[in-house]
Amino acid sequence: MIGKLGGSVAALTFVALIVRMLCTVYLYKQRSISDPQNLTDILNAFIIAVTVIVVAVPEGLPLAVTISLAFSVSEMADLGNLVRRLHASETMGGAGEICTDKTGTLTQNRMTV
């Protein structure tokens, strides 16, 4: 979802910068159509759009992981499991059964029958 949103924003940014360049050429007549500055503007618009994608994805991933872990903690609390740390819910979410001794500690970390 973060990638799709970042790609959408990058495409909108690219289109907005191209429209701005076209307005400079056709509406305001500040440059001619064959001016090399137009190619530079298109290349800069592309670089900015790629930069938006490159920045959006790594910055959004920690937020997405934290939100998903918080959601799993609340789900586990509804089932009666109290999780004090978010990263513990990632491990506990995949456990089907937990075998402990009478003191409640895991001794060998493997289930035997």
- 41 part of the active site: no
Q: Would you give the DSSP letter of residue 58?
A: H
Contact at 8 Å (CB) between 47 and 82?
no
- Residue in 35, 41, 78, 101 annotated catalytic: 101
**DSSP calls for 29-91:** --S-TT-HHHHHHHHHHHHHHHHHHHHHHHHHHHHHHHHHHHHHHHHHHHTT---SSHHHHHH
Residue written as token pair 């790629």: 50
Contact at 8 Å (CB) between 69 and 89?
yes
Positions annotated as catalytic residues are: 101
